[in-house]
Amino acid sequence: MSLDWIYYAISWILLTWHSAWDAIGVPVDAVIGTNWAWILAIVFLVVTVRVILFPVFVKQIKSQRAMQALQPKVKELQEKHKGDRETLQKEMMELYRKEKANPLMGCLPMFLQIPVFLGLFHTLKRLNPDNPGKTLYGWTVEQFNSASNASLFTAPISGKFGSTAEELSRLGANTGTVKVVAGILVLIMIATTYLTSRQMILKTGWAEDPQQRMVQRLMLYGIPLSLLVSGAIFPIGVIIYWVTNNLFTLGQQQWVLRKFPPLVPPKKNATPGKSPVQPAKTGLLGRKTAQPAVKAPAAAPKVAGPKPGAKPVNPKKGTGRPAKRQG
């Protein structure tokens, strides 16, 4: 299946934003070694895609909340059909259909962004002054040459951390500069990828199911670590896209988690008589703010009544005053 339509769409968005920034007055030539019109075109490519996918993202959150609310029923089915995997799958699918919950919605926004990422990767990989196919995907020769020479702090946006000295010499770039700029961006990409996963897990909590917990650990640690390797083959422009996308995700998740707070089931083993502990608020970077515990009201001191047949005790005994005789 040809992906040309994706390359045309990505190219059109990039060129449209570049023309918009040029019309506004953003310098096309490099300032501080950076062609800001092209950098902003990549940044607003992210904004465009995320705005288009925002309704899908809201559906994803609602589906996740519905799935979370169904967890007690899912556990009941797992206990009821333990050892009968086929019946369990049928019952769970019927439950999802009845409650209108879709497990696949949780991954849909990510899958829809994959073609955009691949399209941008292919488009930026082509940016080479020696490339004969400059007018592919709606580019003009002038636009292609301008993008081929675009840079971030003198590092070409089509350059990679793993580019050879020969490849960078064709782009007119310094090998050391490209590696420093690309290396810093890869570290930022890893950090922001970790933070987006950590933000969601801190808000929703770790899953009780071992398989789901393993997936959470993979998302939290495995994907960021894999970027140490794959980040070396990503063009600088693609890493800029990834970092911008992560920052957008951090802000969007923070808004959605406040708008649609996750369900927090009550703990079964709560000790009676103890004051409830207020949940700590988690900020954007996952820092917890301590909340004061609600103190239980002090119990009134118990006064023991006199035993049957016991002599009355004079409360004024020991004060030096004689007790009055009752006549």
| 297 Cα distance to chain centroid | 41
Among 238, 242, 230, 235, smallest CA distance to 158 is for 235
Q: Band of the pLDDT at 128, cuts 50, 70, 90?
A: confident
Residue 21 CA to residue 15 CA, distance in Å, equals 10
Cβ pair 7, 137 in contact under 8 A: yes
- H/E run at residue 282: strand 281-282
Q: Residue 208: what pLDDT?
A: 66
Q: Which residues contact 139 (CB under 8 A, 6 or more apart)?
A: 11, 15, 147
198-234 residue pLDDT tens? 887 777 667 666 777 787 788 888 888 989 888 899 9
State if pTM tops 0.85: no
Cβ pair 297, 290 in contact under 8 A: no
Residue 134 in tokens:
């400059």
Cβ pair 203, 255 in contact under 8 A: no
262-282 residue pLDDT tens? 665 555 454 444 444 444 444
Give 282's strand partners. Answer: 288
160-172 residue pLDDT tens? 999 888 888 888 8
Q: Residue 290: what pLDDT?
A: 47
57-71 residue pLDDT tens? 777 777 777 777 777
Residue 87 CA to residue 76 CA, distance in Å, equals 13
